[in-house]
Amino acid sequence: MVNGSQFIAAERPFAMPKSSAQVPQTVETAPPIWTNIILFSLTFLAAAVLVPWYGIVHGYSISAWVLLGVFLTANELSITAGYHRLWAHRAYEAHWSLRAVYLVFATMALQNSAWNWCSGHRRHHLNVDDEQLDPYSARRGFWFSHIGWMVREYPSGKSDFSNIPDLRRDRMLAFQHRYYLPLVLLTNIGLPLLAGWLTGDLWGVFLLAGVLRLVLSHHFTFFINSLAHMWGTRPYTEENTARDNPVLAVLTFGEGYHNFHHIFAHDYRNGVRWWQWDPTKWLIAGLQWVGLTRKLKRTPVFQIQRALLAMQFARAQSSLERVAPTAAPSRISELHQHIAREYDSFHAAIADWAKVKEQWLNEKKRAVVEHWEHTSFQLRFKELEERLRLQRRRLRVLQAQLA
């Protein structure tokens, strides 16, 4: 999820390769990025050694712990709601004041400029799991996808801003990219020291809300590139390695529902169900009430149900093939017919939904839909969505029989 081969690098023109055969990317040929190596090493050592030592010898004030939580939350939400869902995926629109707050705390998170971050993330979605073109492909192992891709000059991680023309027109983002290094120093050193001075615990706040906060923020975000592609379930698609994981969702402010995100990337939600932990989604939706966010994009319920059912059919078929050698032929034939009937019903529902949507769009274009007509279309959509929900229940019963 984080992007940028160098956290404090200036823009360097780079043309993306046309074929993976042209870009051998090995540890032997990729030169190290010493800036990042030193940064990661020193901050980790300080968090692991200096932070506990200071706590044992001097102790930390309550204000230091509170500011750790405040700054960490602000950093993570500015990455998830700002860099990720607002700028990388254009899942909603935000007021300029909110975008300014995002930029301050996303800069403090030290994950490169918005240009670099979003450009790399869009390449990740376009080439997910490609070992040569995906900047942080999980197929290259945990270490590479978590942090290794940022400590060497791999071609897939080089800057290439051809895929962010919309962001390059944003003056606020251009300012951040141009003055990234001084802004990083101001937010990562200046803000914690100022907060520590104001609360009377200068070094305690700096170590907790400055150093420890930075290390935690880094690795919580890095888990999305690594663990979220290795640990969890794939209820929506198996076409890529992305997983849904509620544990990671807690650590990453909702980003752990990664399987959903990779199939419906432009939805402002990652945890699509109301009970799924996604504070980023709640923040975006809540700010809509005060006019700071608008035009929130949501995937239609029918499309989500369709993806879930498609996966259930695939798994039911696999289960049937697994038990076929040991089950009675008559039972296998009966189950085959059952699945076939459900599959025909599934495709009929999809066809009906497409027809209803086409009719609704035609009416909308002509702008002659009366209120009662609009309500009628919505009721038909709801009926079709309910058909898919009932079908999912029947398939779960069928899969239980096959288990």
- Listed by start position, the domains of the chain span 20-294, 301-402
* Max avg pLDDT among 6-10, 69-73, 322-326: 69-73
DSSP string, 107-135: HHTTS--HHHHHHHHHHHHHTTT-TTTST
Structure tokens at 356: 């209803």
- 310 pLDDT band, cuts 50/70/90, is confident
| Contact between 87 and 79 (Cβ < 8 Å) | no
Q: Which of 50-54, 328-332, 395-399 has the lowest mean pLDDT?
A: 328-332
Mean pLDDT value across residues 117-127: 96
- pLDDT of 367 > 60? The answer is no
- 348 pLDDT band, cuts 50/70/90, is low
Q: How far is CA 34 from CA 140, 326, 327, in A?
A: 21, 59, 61
* Max avg pLDDT among 195-209, 299-313, 381-395: 195-209
- H or E segment and range at residue 94: strand 93-94
| Residue-level pLDDT at 158 | 87
| Residue-level pLDDT at 8 | 41
| Residue-level pLDDT at 378 | 74
- 259 pLDDT band, cuts 50/70/90, is very high
Mean pLDDT value across residues 292-303: 92
| Residue-level pLDDT at 254 | 96
- 332 pLDDT band, cuts 50/70/90, is low
Give the mean pLDDT of the chain. 85
- pLDDT of 14 > 80? The answer is no
Q: Between 72 and 302, name the one with better pLDDT.
A: 72
- Sort 61 into a burial class: Cβ within 10 Å, 0-12 / 13-18 / 19+: middle
Neighbours of 212 (CB within 10 A): 24
Give CA–CA dist 100/176, Å, rounded: 10
Mean pLDDT value across residues 13-39: 62
- Sort 269 into a burial class: Cβ within 10 Å, 0-12 / 13-18 / 19+: buried
Q: Between 320 and 13, name the one with better pLDDT.
A: 320
Give CA–CA dist 88/117, Å, rounded: 8
Q: pTM above 0.85?
A: no
**Which residues lie across from 78 on neighbouring strands?**
none
| Residue-level pLDDT at 23 | 45
Q: Which of 144-148, 302-306, 330-334 has the lowest mean pLDDT?
A: 330-334
| Contact between 121 and 262 (Cβ < 8 Å) | no
pLDDT in tens, 84-95: 999 999 999 999
| Residue-level pLDDT at 22 | 43
Mean pLDDT value across residues 95-108: 98
Give CA–CA dist 304/339, Å, rounded: 20
- H or E segment and range at residue 93: strand 93-94
pLDDT in tens, 370-389: 555 566 677 777 777 777 77
E-state strands within 242-397 = 293-294
Mean pLDDT value across residues 330-344: 62
| Residue-level pLDDT at 395 | 75
Give CA–CA dist 54/306, Å, rounded: 54
- pLDDT of 185 > 90? The answer is yes
How does 283-308 read in b/e, with b if 16+ C-beta sit within 10 Å?
bbbebbeeebbeebbebebbebbbbb
Mean pLDDT value across residues 345-349: 63
Q: Between 185 and 359, name the one with better pLDDT.
A: 185
- Among positive and negative, which fits the CA dihedral 54, 55, 58, 63? positive
| Contact between 136 and 144 (Cβ < 8 Å) | yes
